[in-house]
Structure 1
Amino acid sequence: MGLRLSRVIGHRGVAATAPENTLTGFRLAAEAGFSWVEFDVMLSADEVPMLHHDEKLGRTNDGRGRFCAQDAEALGRLDAGAWFAPDFAGERIPSFADAIACCRALGLAMNVEIKPAKGHAIRTAEVVSETLNALCPDLTDRIVVSSFERECLEVAKEKAPDFHRGYLCERLADGWRQAAEDLGCVSVHPNHRPLTEAAVAAIRDAGFRTLTYTVNDPLRAATLIAWGVDAVITDEPSLVAALA
């Protein structure tokens, strides 16, 4: 079944108004009118897939050291909300399974970015694929798996072939079309800053959908949509109404 997209996708939940990659962020995204959210999945030391963007702890929580060097129990005790605002103190780093359950309950579709720590690309993609197969067999039209790491998408293609894949990139470098085709991707996800109308047309003409990140200005978002971009990934809940 084809990918059922909306024009706006909440970045790491709704990062302008809630701590990123948290269940509260997903709840606030749903309240703001998002029907899709994007988030990052990384493995703990004991290979539990959890939501986190940075290889190092500390920016979005009160931890220290490398994320992948600590087990899920220790990571789950960290405060992942106080850094954003006092009202979010006590927010936790969720597991991928908890994120899926939360999004399912809220009716949110998911852009799952495989975000491996260095040296863990293949195993992270394997665990993400196993989790999707086990927990989401009925959601294949509402999930797209993306990654900057080609190895991750190769594993996802082999291990979770029923789920859509997105080719995530900073810009359209030479060979992007062949790479996206080889990986069986349905969409291309470039950074919006270097994106041009001609590049959007090239993506469309190659048969891919275009999702672009991270667009927080409503005028830029409207321009991108006018060019033919299918969805903008944004921190800003105001874009839901602006692009309705």
Structure 2
Amino acid sequence: MSSKFTHNISLKKNTLILVIFLITSISYAQTTTYNQFWNEFQFNRTINEKWSAELNLGAAYSSTESSSNIFQQNIQRSARIWGHYYLSPRWKLSSFVAYNFNKDVPEIGQFKSPEVRFALQGIYYFHKTGYTLSTRMRMELRHMRNEEGAYDNVLRYRQQVKYLKPINSKILREGVVYAIASDELFFKSGTKVTGLSFFDRNRLNIGAGYLFTDDIQAELTYANEYLPRDGGNQIVNAASLTIIFNNFFENLKKKLSHKHEEVNED
């Protein structure tokens, strides 16, 4: 009996210690929420049937711990150049080089952290009647400056699943509204500048797009990010606006040339 009694006391003691540990962990695992606005301009250019190029120009704004204003700080500006290769109707292979000027980005810290980023990417499309489902695989090398002024190399893998469905048509064309939903998991190597955790974040996107013409479209989405960090977890709620131009400079050149010809005829 005494042995059983001692065992029960020990079990209750260990359970109490575990409960106290969990409560303490929850108390100190603070979660900070930020509200942000992301915007990006995408310029796509068709080179031939197999190749295309893309230029992205973006900016991000954020609230702070002391202000809920979504535009309180301009935390990032970025430029990115892509090359796309269409291996088949289902496979699209891509690569990019980018420069990000990070400043006061909440996940990094309150300091300037210029970054050069390289990536290899593959997208596989499941073409279905009435909608498109795709999965994206991306490996990134981030060369970024830490708080001490030295540069760290961060490897990051991203896996996304995306759903796209035209609302008022069976295909994407001028005047069509379409729904977008995606979820993406991020995994990274551990460094001082981004933290030591292997799991980087989860990003959920939901929203809609509209094609003003076959070559100009806009997407407005809500993004929710969960970021586990050493100094406390973070949640980001972001409104994201993307404006997409297809063959913009080529179309602009054609219009200017056409106007010039009309002037000469007059």
Question: After TM superposition, is the score higher than 0.5?
Answer: no
Structure number with the higher helix fraction is 1
TM-score when scaled to structure 1?
0.29
Q: Answer 1 or 2: higher relative contact order, Cα 8 Å, separation at least 6.
A: 1
Structure number with the higher strand fraction is 2
TM-score when scaled to structure 2?
0.27
